[in-house]
Structure 1
Amino acid sequence: MSVGLLAMLLVVGTSPAVEDQGAGNLERFEFRETHMGSEFKLLIYCTDRELASSAARSAFARIAFLDATLSDYKPDSELMRLSDQAGGPAVPVSPELFEVLARARSLSERTDGAFEPTINPVVKLWRRARRNRELPRPSQLKEALERVGWRDLVLNAEAQTVRLARPGMRLDVGGIAKGYASDAALEVLREAGISRALVAGAGDIVASEPPPGRSGWIVGIASLDAEEGATRFLSLRCQAVSTSGDTERFVEIDGVRYSHIVDPRTGLGLTDRSSVTVVAPDGTTSDSLATAISVLGPETGLELAEQTEGVEALIVTVGDGQNRYRVDQTSGFEALLARPLEQEEPVTSLGPPES
């Protein structure tokens, strides 16, 4: 989604010390590069600066490769080359593109199209709407929606081919790509022998084992009020967390605030202000579910989260009158919250989430 969101994720620090055998004299290293239109940040604990730097370069190279594969902004990306062949025969694709499309299509089926990897024709209209502060014309939306539909995204796992069955279809995997790239970068670090690391790309964070002597990585979830800062803190270990919302990317037209997140079922930007935070075993899952739950809304969205193994979710919605915010969460979300003492570490901002 990966797209500006409502809640900002912050790496706050690490939870209180616990007994940690074999950690050695690990040092903390931090690296940053811009990819996929966002800053990616790597936090690495290891004993060797050269190893940390080499592993970071490899991790960023992996993210850059996935950007060139999955971007809908780059006309020569593999995703866009595939889109150019919509309506034609099945096309062989890379393992990475096939996996992302397979995961996206599976979630589309589970959500009856609330998550939609073929939404690009509609998203393009809304990008123009934000620039011009002008709503898409109904005729434009109707024509764009006629080229959207996950059922016409035909995958053949054995041949590893993809066919866009409907002419004019265009792909957009912005709601899953950054989480997938963060997972891939963390795997590169693991293969380099680094077991304690965190990868953060905008509103998606993927973490392996925590820093030495600590029980978890502490991640702060900022309030819907951008000036309020983090109001809830999570303690994560070998988990991922993503947020979805419209804190920074929205457009107000005729007094109505439209999110950059589009409901594929209507073609309209969401107008209910909410922040969705999803914790999952991996970033691909947390990123895509955060987007899907934003579209589905609290009741159906929480039901989806409860039905997904290893997933917990928090939804904060702007209320009316005296109830400034409505808070909904899954049954196990509370257990992920950090204790007050854990929240006293200094905060490092990761920038606005973009899923």
Structure 2
Amino acid sequence: MSSTLRISALLLAVLMLLGGCRAMTGRSAEPVSGVEFAMNTWVEQRWYGDEAQETYDDIMACLRDLEARLSLYREDSEISALNASAGREPVRVSRDTFTLLSRAKEFSAESGGLFDVTIAPLTLTWGITSGEPHIPGEEEIAAAQALVDYRGLILDREAQTAMLAREGMKVDLGGIAKGMAASVCAEIPRKHGVSGYLSIGGNTMVCGKKPDGQDFLVGLRDPRGEASEALGSFAMDGLTMATTGDYERYFEQDGVRYHHVLDPFTGRPSASDLISVTVISADGTLADCLSTSIFLRGSGALEQYFARDDCRVIAVTKDLQVYATPGLWDDFTINPSKTQYTFHKS
């Protein structure tokens, strides 16, 4: 089989627009920044302040710790232990892992199973995020689908244990863990008194302002442009932005793009009319989960999410229509060069 796996190495969903900092002098104006691979994606950081290096290092240590516990692909992780014990016995997990599993199950129920924390059998069958993708046959898909059911995740809060009801079931926290990680890491720059941003794949957290007092502007990635192209930008101090898009991770075969957002009801990459969904919230876990759920539901469900008061949403359809929570337009500066898109402000 001939296929090509394409994973954007940097700025999977956003472009940080950081001009204007050079006017400052002194240590605080010189950022500590870098890009490293963690949590199965690229992590970018940039911090300003006397304790910028400590912030950078503490965040990477936090992400490595979370990855060690939550990764589907590490044999020694708590999630791998849970998956290996499916259908046999409960596994005691750390408090953070238990909390994330609990929220993931709640979100799964809220979405009616469209977002499903036990999607791993399908994730592994397609292999799109593993580096070895392929198009599975009908029997493979059906066998994997039969093992996807969030109701089979059994949680015991008092014992702090988790169990999967049937052998072969597996948990995949990839659709929620990065948003949670962004929220957890938000405490680190506050503790060190620095400003800057953290981008974990499609999840970006911003803390404070630039050294010259200006806002950090977050660019919304053009889902049909290059990684450096943005549809527009907005300020986002103290919030986390999560983006799900069909351009993030995918492979192509015979001219067809197969992206990583799998629909548990079809067993295949989502066929909704959306190509990008961004959710902005103070709760990174919520933002991460909702961006996936909305992407799977399609544009017909947007109005119910626009009405929520715990997040703001901006979505792009296959025919390049851009819709957003009405109040978001007041803070969003459209890139005037993106004339191929229609921005619906009402």
Bucket of the pairwise TM-score, normalised by the shorter protein: 0.7 to 0.9
Could you tell me which residue of structure 2 aligns to residue 349 of structure 1? none
Conserved 8 A contact 1:7-1:223: no
Contact 1:7 1:275 in 2 (8 A): no
1:281 and 2:286 are equivalent in the alignment: no
In structure 2, the residue matched to 1:223 is 222
1:212 positional shift: 4.1
Q: Which moved more, 1:34-43 or 1:93-102?
A: 34-43
- CA shift, 1:215, in A, is 5.3
* 2:16 is aligned with 1:35: no
1:331 deviation in Å? 2.3
Is residue 332 from structure 1 mapped to residue 322 from structure 2 by the alignment?
no
Distance in 2, matches of 1:277 and 1:29, equals 27
In the alignment, is the contact (CA less than 8 A) between 1:130 and 1:251 conserved in 2?
no
What does residue 147 of structure 2 align with? 147
- Aligned to 1:328, the other structure's residue is in SS state strand
- Offset of 1:269 from its aligned partner? 0.9
The offset of 1:198, in angstroms, is 1.6
> Alpha carbons of 1:131 and 1:208: their partners in 2 closer, same or farther (altered >3 Å)?
closer
Residue 163 of structure 1 deviates from its aligned partner by: 1.7
Residue 88 of structure 1 deviates from its aligned partner by 2.4
5+ residue gaps in structure 2?
Answer: 1-5, 336-346
Q: Which residue of 2 aligns with 1:198?
A: 197
Which amino acid letter does the alignment assign opposite residue 42 of structure 2?
E
1:294 matches 2:289: no
Q: Distance in 1 between matches of 2:118 and 2:203?
A: 22
- In the alignment, structure 1 segments of 5+ residues that lack a partner are 17-23, 320-324, 341-355
1:251 maps to what in 2?
251
- Equivalent AA in structure 2 for residue 36 of structure 1: M
Q: Percent identity?
A: 31
Alignment: residue pair count: 323
1:310 paired residue number: 310
Structure-2-length-normalised TM-score: 0.84
- Rounded to whole Å, the distance in 2 between the matches of 1:200 and 1:242 is 10
1:116 aligns with 2:116: yes
By relative contact order (CA 8 Å, sep 6+), the higher-ranking structure is 1
Q: State whether structure 2 residue 54 is matched by structure 1 residue 54.
A: yes
My pick for the range that moved more, 232-241 or 26-35, is: 26-35
2:207 aligned residue: 208
Deviation at residue 4 of structure 1 after TM alignment = 5.1
Q: Is the 8 A contact 2:196 2:209 kept in 1?
A: yes
Question: What is the aligned partner in structure 1 of residue 343 from structure 2?
Answer: none
Please provide the CA RMSD for this pair: 2.9
- Note the C-alpha offset of 1:117: 1.1
Aligned-pair distance for 1:130?
9.3
- Distance change (3 Å), C-alpha of 1:148 and 1:232: same
> Aligned partners of 2:40, 2:182: CA distance in 1, in Å?
14
User: Does 2:104 match 1:104?
Assistant: yes
User: What residue in structure 2 maps to residue 10 of structure 1?
Assistant: 15
Check if 1:186 corresponds to 2:181: no
What one-letter code is carried by the residue in structure 1 that aligns with 2:326? S
* TM-score (normalised: structure 1): 0.82
CA–CA distance in structure 1, aligned partners of residues 333 and 158 of structure 2:
44
- The CA distance in 2 between the partners of 1:69 and 1:88, in whole Å, is 20
